[in-house]
Structures are given as structure tokens and as C-alpha cells.
Amino acid sequence: MAIAELVMPKLGESIMEATILKWHKKVGDHVKLDETVLDIATDKVDSEVPSTVEGTITEILYNVNDVVPIGTVIVRVETAAQASAPTPAPVAAAPVIEAPAVPVAVAPTPIIETPAPAPAPVPVTPPPVVEVPYTPSAPMVELMAKPASNRFYSPLVLNIANSEGISLSELERIPGTGNDGRVSKKDILQYVADKKAGRVPTYQPAPVYAAAPQYITPVAPVAQQAAPQPATQPTASPVAPEQAPTVPVTAPAAVLEPMAVATPVAAPATAPTPAVEQPQPIAPVYQEPIVPVVPAPQPAAPQPTYQAAATPTYQPAPEPVMKSASRFPEQNAAAYSAPMPPSPQAIFAQPSGKYSDPSMVKVSGETEIIEMDRMRKLIAKHMVDSKHTSPHVTSFAEADVTNMVLWRTKVKNEFEQREGTKLTFTPMFVECIANVIKRFPYINCSLDGDKIILKKDINIGMATALPTGNLIVPVIKGADQMNIVGLSKAVNGLADAARNAKLKPEDTTGGTFTLTNVGTFGSLMGTPIISQPQVAILAVGAIKKRPMVLEGPDGDTIAIRHMMYLSLSYDHRIVDGSIGASFLTEVAKEFEKWNINKQWFHYL
């Protein structure tokens, strides 16, 4: 037996530790090669740790929520490589010894006949016994009744789902065994195997709409119950005797029946108990508004009078506004005693739920407590540590980006058709920043105690907002080595991967400078926090049109220009105000010097 050690893998250059989220295996379980053993999380991304060997887990050294340094042994696995080698040796030796016994060719003939009947019944019984427990192991897989929205999926799970043709809606219904119901690699592989075996039922939302016809069926019994009532209608309605013979002839008699039943005295005398019980819940509804307003005209006319019968329910509401309230005070006091306010302004203001009297406001004092998710906790800790580590200083500048706006408007359609990717302002900003960083090396560095580490590579991170509301910073590696086409592909690719949870650990590491676009959400400027261990971060605000004074050979003129504010936060331990302000001014000038006739396809 050999003991293999599984260590915490290195997920990035600046990542020195990881948190254990969940163990998929326990002591004594058998693990296969590349099978997921546990889930870990860093301040960048979550990932699954597969096994590097095949064997049995003998020891687990850490628990859930433990923070483990990179390279530390976390699991010990006992491999069966040596145990499997001696087993075939005696098996292979046994037939070799029996083979030389063949030279005795005369004696074996009677010996073979005697053991023949004994082994014959023995091998017949095992095959059905082995097949019986294997066949019932095909239960139908139970999917989740409702899709699990806002659930995190690791890049490995999404890649498996894409390769197997599993849609996102189907993926949301797979029950997960990971942390907070997250779908792990084992869950998606088991689901794929069940789906290929035909054990996954297809989700059909049709049963939800099957109940719709139930709302139509109650209409038929109402019409049927109203049909026998015309016999009692002429006897119970002495108000309009001429209309009694017309009711049983025409079809609207069933519709006008509730109005005639308004007199509850004649109903129990002429009709049996089932006929009286059916119109009783309907009669109180129409009795009060119909009898005092228009009792006779409604059965006289067919459908137009039935539409007018529904209007009396809306007529009592505006009556307090009319002047008849002063002419009939007794009737108004009896019909509308207190619930309706007399003021027309109060009547129209009441449905909005707003009060004009401050004394009517009621404060509930209710609160809601929401716990931070894991990523938000890591972001909060990272920001607080950055403030405690670096003394932040922020400088501001203003840039005229009219040439950038006009150039992008002119070429963006052709750019997208030719290159297959959209042209945004972010790659244009990155190109200008990378050019200025070459002239200010202290902006592109980090500190290690009292040592300054100057970075030769220019890796610019861009802050990206996630659909969950959290923030992540993918890094554009070698930004100074790409033109506007390469930067556009890199920016759009990283942004799409971030929003679809497909970022790899190496996509968020190695940054030397960060750009954040606060103008995406309409903000004019901001004071960003440095992403450690970097020493500076640049924020660009929203682009606004403003009248500006332009200096020319013939004097000053006023023109409408596209203006934008820039803000640079830098670590005052290494970047002084002169370096920080000078760098920010040069970036603003680089934006303003953008060539409006720039050729972006010169590489062809």
C-alpha cells in the first residue's frame, strides 16, 4: 500500500490561501482519478479540487470553513497499486500448474465425467441473481419543482453543461449537493448519465394551463338553473306583468333572472328547496343597488339594459359630490353615513395610499436583516484591508474626449462587422493608459515592506459589475502589446466570462494597475479604493456635453464639447502628489490627443 498526499493547489500568483467550502468525500470513501474531493473558495473565484490519484481516503486534515495556505497537505489517500499486483500472480500460477497435468491423457477421461454434473447447476443460478439487483437501479430522477435562480455555477460545471447540450433553464432545475445547493461536478455528471439512460423526466408546464377550463364550466350550470325559473318569474314579479310571457320565449330570461328574484318572499312559496338555495347567494348582491334605482326598465330591454344594470354599482360613488346631498340630507345620511369623505380631493387622493395629514402617518419600525454572501464578505474585507494598508490620496482632472466620441461613432459599425466584436470606450481608455504608464514606472509597481517592486509587464485590470451586484476585476495581460482590436476582444471576452461565471483563476490575478468606469452608472466622478498590492487605480466618469471655452489663433470661442472627469487614487507611501497629478494630467492629454482619423485595420 502507498500513501499519496493531496495538497491545496495554487490558483493564482497573488493567492496565498483558500477557504474550504464543502467536502464531497469522507474518510473511508473510494475516490477515482480527477474526481472532485472538495470545493474551495478564494477572494477571486470558487473552484473544485480533483483527486490526483485513485484510492481510499484515509485522513482528512481540515474541516469546512478552515483557511488553508497554498501547498498544504489536506488529504491523504491510500492507493491500491501494490495490492493489485500480487493478486493476479497466484491466479496466473494456478492454471500453469494444472497445465502440465495434461500429459496423463488416459486417466482424465473418466475423471472429467464425474465432476461434470456437479458444476452444471452451480453456474446456472448466479446469473439471474446478479441481474436482479442491477435492473431496478433505474429510478426516475426527481427534478426541482421551481428553478433555482441566482445560483452560482463553477466554470467546470458550465463547460460540462455546454458540451452535453444542457440549457441554463434545465441546469437550474438540477438539485445540487454543494454549498447552498450549488451544483457540483458530481451532480452534473450524474445528471448527464441519468439523462442518457432515460431516467430524467421532461419538464412540461402544460398541467398548469389544464385547470383553466374549470373557470368556464361553472357558467353552464348557472344557465341550466336559470332555465326552470321562468315558471316562477311571472308569479313572483307583479311589477311588469306584460313582460312575463316574453321571458320564457327569449334566451335572455336566464340573464335577467337574478333581478326578478330580488323579492325573496315569492321564491320559497313556488319553487322547491334546491331552486331557492341556488339564487339566494346571488340575490343579496343585486338586491340593494337595483331595486331603489331602476327596477322595471332592466327586464324590458335585452342586453343593453343588462349593461346598464352593472352601472348602478358605480353610480353611488360620485353621488356625495353632487348637490343632491344638500337637498336630501336624510337619505344621504342613511346611505352614506361615514365611510365616504365629503371632499372631492380626498376621494381622488385616497386610492394612492398617500396622506395629506402628517398625523395620519404610521411608522411600523420593521426591519429586514440580510446576511452577506461569501463574495461580498471577501470584497468588504479586501476593501478594509486596502484602507488600512495604503494611505489613499485622490487627484482629479478633466478631459475633452470629443475626438474619441466622434471616432467611435464613425467606425463602430464597420468595426463590429469586420472584427466580430463591439467597440466600446474601455479598450480606448486602456490603450491610452498603457502608453502613459511606460513614462511613469512608479505607477506600475507594488511594495513589499520597504522594497519597491517595479513591474515590467503592464497588466491592467478592469472592474466589472456582476448580475448579483458584486464586483470582480478581470485582468488584461500585456495591455501595452495589443492594438485597439486586440484590446476590444480581450475586454469583451473577459466581461462576458465574468457575467456568465466562466472566469478562470488566472483571469483575475497578476494585475499591476486598475481602471474602473463609474460613468457606466451615470456618476460624474468617484474616489476608488486601491486593489492591493497595486499602488494606483483610475476612475473615469460619465461623458457629458458642456459648453467650453476654446483658445484659437483668432481668440477664444465657445463650443459644445464632450467632457469627462478623471480621478486617480494612489498609495502615498510610494506615489507622491507630483507623480500622481502628473500621471493623471498626461492621461487626460492622451485622451484629448486621440486621432480622429485613426486607422484600426492597418494590420491587414
Distances (CA, A) of 562 to 223, 306, 405, 542: 71, 64, 8, 10
Q: What do you get for the CA distance between the two ends of the chain, in Å? A: 61
- Cα–Cα distance, 412 to 428 (Å, whole number): 12
Determine which one of 34, 180, 457, 576 is catalytic: 576
Determine which one of 180, 496, 572, 602 is catalytic: 572
Q: What are phi and psi of 307, to 5 degrees?
A: -70, -35
Q: What are phi and psi of 318, to 5 degrees?
A: -80, -5
- Cα–Cα distance, 17 to 311 (Å, whole number): 73
In the chain, the largest separation of any two C-alpha atoms, in whole Å, equals 135
Residue 542 burial (CB count, 10 A): 16
Alpha-helical (H) ranges within 278-397 are 283-290, 297-300, 303-310, 324-327, 329-335, 344-349, 374-389
Omega into 533 within 30° of 0, i.e. cis? Answer: yes
560 Cα distance to chain centroid: 41
**What are 529's three cell numbers?**
479604493
Q: Is residue 562 annotated as part of the catalytic site, yes or no?
A: no
Distances (CA, A) of 333 to 320, 325, 327, 342, 343: 10, 9, 12, 12, 15
> In terms of Cα–Cα distance, which of 533, 382, 539 is closest to 455?
533
Residue 546 burial (CB count, 10 A): 11
- Cα–Cα distance, 254 to 302 (Å, whole number): 11
- Cα–Cα distance, 21 to 111 (Å, whole number): 65
Q: 8 near 21, Cβ under 8 Å?
A: no
- Cα–Cα distance, 431 to 484 (Å, whole number): 7
DSSP code of 176? -
Q: Is residue 572 annotated as part of the catalytic site, yes or no?
A: yes
In terms of residues, how long is the chain?
604
For residue 451, give the H/E element and its range.
strand 451-454
> In terms of Cα–Cα distance, which of 594, 552, 539, 550 is closest to 397?
539
For residue 38, give the H/E element and its range.
strand 36-41
Q: 256 near 302, Cβ under 8 Å?
A: no
Active site members? 572, 576
